[in-house]
Chains A and B, each alone.
Chain A
Amino acid sequence: VILSPDSDMHIMCVKESAWEARLLMKNGKSQNSRSEIGLDERALRHLEKSGATTVEELFAGLRIEVPTLTKAEVTDTVWLLAAQDKVDMQEPLPKSFIDFLRTWQENLWFYASLGVSFVTILIINFIPPSHPLLVLRWALGSVFVFFIPGYVTLQGLYPGDRRIDRGERIALSVALSLVLVMLVGLLLNYTPWGIRLTPILISLTILTVGLAAMALTRRYRSRTS
């Protein structure tokens, strides 16, 4: 992807967001050529030496060698290297847990899990079993009981999204959900409330929210460490 000089606003926007991005060496290796060294080659050499760094640090490092260098040139070079799959760009590290919570895309699983649980509770409480919308209760209720408990547990156990295959994640989520639901049922059996709708709903919600919160914390820690 070579940035178009016509869409200046877009370039600015990309440059701004890329500025804080962390850079990791990927497939690129600097070539020891005696000819004139290009900016991309200099950047790769610098990244080889310093390991993971930010664009800002790269700019500062390269400016020592080329004092006339501008920030825009460095950013363009970084995008070019990224497009050539020579460097990998990562989101900037979250400054706090709240900041981490704001990264919607990364934590979509968390909000979706809580959202489905919340809607399921609403449907169970407000839509009577004879209503045509009962189908929604079957669909969301099945996800709530057969998928989400195991899924949030896996999110905590495998914090990185790419660590296990999506199919494996779904398969294990279903199996783990069944185990967790049986365990919750066993605990409920020994409480004064027994295995009834309200205690089931409350306990499964607590389990889901608790496991999701634990998973979120674990992911935050793994992200910042």
Chain B
Amino acid sequence: MNTAYNNNALLLLAAFLFAVLVSLVFLRDSLIPEKFYPFVIATIAFCLIFQVLWISPYLVGYGDLHLEYFLFQLVESTGRWNTALPYFYNSALSVTILPAMVRPLLAVGDTSLFKTMYPLTFTFVPVVLFLAYRNVVGSKRAFLSSILFMSYTSYFSEVSFIGKQDIAELMIASLILLTYGGPNIKRSGKPITILLMVGLVFAHYSSLYLYFGIVLLSFPLLAVLKKKSVISPTFMAIFLVFGLCWYFYTAGGTALTEVVQVGNVLYSSFISDFFLPAARGGVVLMFFGVGVTSALVNRIDLMVQYSIQFFIIAGVLTLWKRRKSVNGEFLSYASVSLILVVSGIVVPYFSSTLNESRIYQFALIFLSPACVLGGEIIFRNLSYATSILKRRSWHVSLPNSNRSLTFVSCFIILFLLFNTGFINEMSGAPPISFALGMNRMKASNTPGLVTFLFDIYLPGQDYAGARWISTYMLQNQTVCGDSPSRLGFLLAYAGIPLQWNGGNSYAPPLLPYSTRGCMYLYFSYENTVKGIVENSYGYPIYPISAFSNLDYERNRIYSNGATVILAFEQ
């Protein structure tokens, strides 16, 4: 809608309707019966994810998705999965074998498959989480928890672009359903747990490491609480070995090397960079107000974000206070997840190397119900205190849970409206949503906004250029491009990998004042129309004038009004 008619009115209306739907649940019980909660959750999740994905008919996402697409096409074209290809994404069967199994059966286009299968799976995650949460906190709180989980921007503007994590989170949500579930579901839970664990190993290494970390660290807490765990330590040990073996023997061991390197960075910099603010990621710094503009909208947004974190801490403390009556796993997983989030702030490079927003999104799987509980407790106590002050008597009964939950729902609705970009659009503040603020981002010449959009958005001219070069380029040559081109559409739609892998073409970075090692130079829409060249996502940014020494007239072999391809003799 926004793309085709340059009008975001319907999307704004949709965002407003999400808020209305959520509030209807808390206005009166009979308005939306409990059995419809999963449908409400699925509808909101579907709209949130697909309004971003449908900004372009091509792949929408960061480099992860394009590399997944490239690896899938290798499997599809040969009918074989090459275990030795040294891309760590190659160890994820969820993006290599799974789409190669599904595509021939459904006879859909490759891009359509990637734009539907993974996002639809991911739409399902909040619904499964709702089913799991309701066993530990009841239906209404579970509903709010699921809404909170999907309200975080990363859910619909980052993780939804990563196929392997979408599948992995469904596995984890299903494992949580088994863990938090009643005795009936646990009765035959072991074979299902085994299958889901295998699925998690096959789906995504990072999610597996994080999940294993949370479960393993929860065992000592469960021992302190004297509570039994559905997943035993022996069982986890077996799967840890299985997972490590899998990542050791597939994709040249790169998925294992990656985690070792991250561990090494964290270990070596812990003391030396402990007090260095730059060692924390951008989102963490923004949380502390660094880089947040003084506009009222942004200040309110920050206050809402603080409140949510405050609710989470209050929720975990409440769970500890009621430790005898709450589900042991729920309490321990929430506690360890909170430690994980705090580590992102305390441990240098933890958030920046592991991608802070994705870690926080992952932690919300376990923390969302705690946040709702925390908010409820805070509002109950506030109302209680106000009643005492008003009546000047201690003989005041605690306010009912429903009213407190309504207050919490107001905060979560605000959180949703801020994160979807609704409030920014209505107030005229800088756009933050790919879907709602697309036109303003496209029209803007602010480097931050331009790179923010073009890191995920592929204009038709760039798609055409990528298809052209894949057809007409000479074999085994280099195509230099900037980061969004190399990591994105040149990889997915021209089939040119980032690094040399044995006689094929590859795409080195596009550097100013030097064309050495480049047979072709690829200038994308972002480079030519917006005048920005990104060497790595966001940093550093060069103006297109840094390439003014090139003879465009003599070397131009392709131009479609935006995309320009130059060729050089080697």
Contacts and interface: CB of A to CB of B under 8 A. Distances in A.
Contacts of B174: 171-172, 175-176
A164 B104 contact: no
A195 B81 contact: yes
Contacts of B80: 189, 194-195
B106 interface: yes
A171 B199 contact: no
Interface string B152-194: 0000000000000001001101100110010011011001100
Contacts of B350: none
Q: Is the interface of B mostly helix, strand, loop or mixed?
A: helix
Contacts of A120: 105
Interface string B93-113: 110011011101111100000
Interface in B71-91: 75-76, 78-81
Contact of A176 (B104, B105, B107, B195): B195
Given A165-B131, A171-B127, A176-B195, A144 B105 contact: yes
B124 interface: yes
Interface residues of B, number: 43
A181 interface: yes
Given A145-B101, A189-B80, A195-B75, A171 B131 contact: yes
Interface stretch (A28-36, A38-46, A196-204): A196-204
A12 interface: no
B188 A157 contact: yes
Contacts of A101: none
B252 interface: no
Nearest to A201: B105
A163 interface: yes
Contact of A137 (B79, B100, B107, B181): B107
Contacts of B97: 182, 185-186, 189, 195
B184 A164 contact: yes
A157 B196 CA distance: 14
A14 interface: no
B75 to A, nearest CB: 6
Given A175-B171, A195-B79, A180 B195 contact: yes
A158 B187 CA distance: 8
A138 B185 CA distance: 31
Nearest to A134: B107
B117 to A, nearest CB: 8
Contacts of A182: 93-94, 97-98, 101, 199, 202
Contacts of B192: 154, 157, 172, 176
A24 B195 CA distance: 37
B406 interface: no
A6 interface: no
Contact of A168 (B78, B102, B181, B195): B181
Nearest to A196: B79
A165 B93 CA distance: 30
A178 B80 CA distance: 19
A184 interface: yes
A215 to B, nearest CB: 12
A181 B79 contact: no
A142 interface: yes
A200 B105 contact: yes
B107 A175 contact: no
Contacts of B429: none
Given A145-B105, A183-B198, A185-B98, A167 B38 contact: yes
A120 to B, nearest CB: 8
A174 interface: yes
Contact of B106 (A142, A183, A189): A142
A61 interface: no
B354 to A, nearest CB: 25
Contacts of A184: 101
Nearest to B104: A197
A16 B195 CA distance: 46
A164 B185 contact: yes
A2 B417 CA distance: 56
The 4 closest A-B pairs by CB, nearest first: A194-B79, A179-B199, A185-B97, A175-B174
11 contacts: A134-B107, A158-B184, A167-B131, A171-B124, A178-B170, A179-B195, A181-B98, A181-B102, A182-B94, A182-B202, A196-B104
Given A145-B106, A171-B127, A176-B195, 20 more contacts: A134-B107, A138-B106, A141-B105, A167-B131, A172-B178, A178-B121, A178-B167, A179-B171, A179-B195, A179-B198, A179-B199, A180-B195, A182-B98, A183-B198, A189-B80, A189-B81, A194-B80, A195-B97, A195-B100, A200-B104
Interface of B: 38, 75-76, 78-81, 93-94, 97-98, 100-102, 104-108, 121, 124, 127-128, 131, 167, 170-171, 173-174, 177-178, 181, 184-185, 187-188, 191-192, 195-196, 198-199, 202
